[in-house]
Amino acid sequence: MLCGKERCPVLVKFFHYSKVQPLIDDVFLEGSSPPSIFVGRIGYPKVAIGPLVPPFAGDTSYIDLPELWENVTIDDIVKFRSHLIRGKYVVNVYDVEKRDKIVDFTRELALARNSVDTEMLFEKKPYGRIALYDDAQPHGPSAPIRYLDISNPKYDHHIEKAYYDTDLKARDAVIELYRKGVLVSRIQKAFSVGAFGEKKYRRFVPTRWSITAVDSMIGEELMKNTKQYPLINEYRVYKYEKLDNRWIVIFLPTTWRYELIEAWYPKTTWNPYGKSISMFNSYEFYKGRKTYAEIGGCYYAARLAVNEKLNQERRQAGVIVLREAHPGYILPVGVWNVREAVRAALKREYTKCESLKEVLEEIRKFMDIPVERWIKNSAILKDLLMQRRLEEF
């Protein structure tokens, strides 16, 4: 194409919009929310909250469970996410317990585990095409809510218990739920409606912040264990490809350290106008980092996934995640993509290597970008190759 992209994101968006549009050309919407909700960020602390509802009924839970999207394409995601109509209702983030039907129903949807029949009356017809975010999943057109009603939701009882415990700290609630096997995406949803924490600290949290907050908290907790476990005694290389993203996860026989390096081809989401490949990295050594990662929420999503694996094996390792985003990755689909891709990579067979040299050879074979360029952009590889250790003397 003239603009250089492999396929036109505008047309992809338009195509799906044109299919959804006739279904929602009305101020009244009836459908089953997966359940799903959205908390906006603009105007903080006055933000727009409300449900996401598709214009059809039944079990729609799949639309909001990224954990199940292992085999979907970008088109699939745009298609089923663009069906979600976002109702908007502006509240102050501190108004989590306000006596208000829309606030109550939004929260109930966030705590539910089943698809919930929902009726929404809007101030005007839903407007806009698919909305894309860097951290959150995309959704379809939106409109201000005038009236909202839902049928009976069934609560996830672990989440419900944490919601009624107003002495339990938010962080402890998140970790307890994770340990009980509640899906990360469900915890994030409940977190965004201020369902956890000591009563006086509860508030709405914009969806994108709540995604990273939960990823980061769980990752940190798992990391505490990781640092206590014995080291692995081999080099491992995991490889995975999805949505035209190529992933390599390297486990090193060292103490905990972690780096995520992303390479964006020209015309991909985060490098729309560039002529050359852009590379970004964020890293931490054993002591961890105190500032927010330069590359954003994906750093924490991948960190959760690698620590999950190390905790399962009760082993410690240094970890480097490499991501090559090729031109077929035309739209951002959300941070879940990073978390689930790294999880999927770690479920595969790995290549066992005897030395760092063999690891570099694996990178050379699987990635298009020359290994020298990965090294140049990697704090941990540079450290391994160039920093000597005291016991060598």
Partner 1 sequence: MFQAKIKADILKKMIDIVSPLVNEVKINVTPAGMSLRAVDPAHVAMVDLSIGASAFEEYKADETEIGIDLDKLASVMKLASSGDTVEMELDDVSNRLIIRIGNLTRKIGLIDTTGMTEPKVPNLNLPAKITVKASELLQGVKASESISDHIALTATEDAFELFAEGDTDTVNLKLPKDLLIELNAPEKCRSLFSVEYLSSMIKPVKGDQPLTIYLGNDNPIKLEFDFADKNARAIYLLAPRIESE
- Largest Cα span, the chain: 76
How remote is the C-alpha of 136 from its chain's centroid?
6
When asked if residue 285 is in the footprint of partner 1 (CB under 8 A), the reply is yes
Nearer to partner 1, 27 or 379 (CB): 379
Residues that contact partner 1, how many (by CB under 8 A)? 21
How remote is the C-alpha of 141 from its chain's centroid?
21
Number of Cβ within a 10 Å radius of residue 52: 27
User: Of residues 1, 2, 42, 390, which one binds partner 1 by CB under 8 A?
Assistant: 390
Q: Starting from the edge strand earliest in sequence, which strands make up the sheet with 318-325, in order?
A: 278-284, 257-264, 318-325, 245-252, 235-242, 351-353
Question: Binding string, 334-373, against partner 1, x = CB under 8 A?
Answer: --------------------------------------x-
When asked if residue 291 is in the footprint of partner 1 (CB under 8 A), the reply is no
User: Rg (Cα) of the chain, in Å, rounded?
Assistant: 22
When asked if residue 3 is in the footprint of partner 1 (CB under 8 A), the reply is no
Question: Buried (b) or exposed (e) across 358-371, using 16+ Cβ within 10 A?
Answer: ebbebbeebbebeb
When asked if residue 388 is in the footprint of partner 1 (CB under 8 A), the reply is yes
Q: Cβ of residue 386: shortest distance to partner 1, in angstroms?
A: 5
Question: Buried (b) or exposed (e) across 212-224, using 16+ Cβ within 10 A?
Answer: bbbbbbbbbbbbe
Nearer to partner 1, 65 or 231 (CB): 231
Nearer to partner 1, 48 or 380 (CB): 380
When asked if residue 379 is in the footprint of partner 1 (CB under 8 A), the reply is yes
When asked if residue 230 is in the footprint of partner 1 (CB under 8 A), the reply is no
When asked if residue 377 is in the footprint of partner 1 (CB under 8 A), the reply is no
The secondary element (H helix, E strand) that includes residue 356 is helix 356-366
Residues of span 249-268 touching partner 1 by CB under 8 A:
254-257
When asked if residue 387 is in the footprint of partner 1 (CB under 8 A), the reply is yes
- The span from the CA of 310 to the CA of 306, in Å, is 6
Q: Cβ of residue 208: shortest distance to partner 1, in angstroms?
A: 31
Residues at the site binding partner 1, with contacts judged by CB under 8 A: 254-257, 285-287, 372, 375, 379, 382-383, 385-393
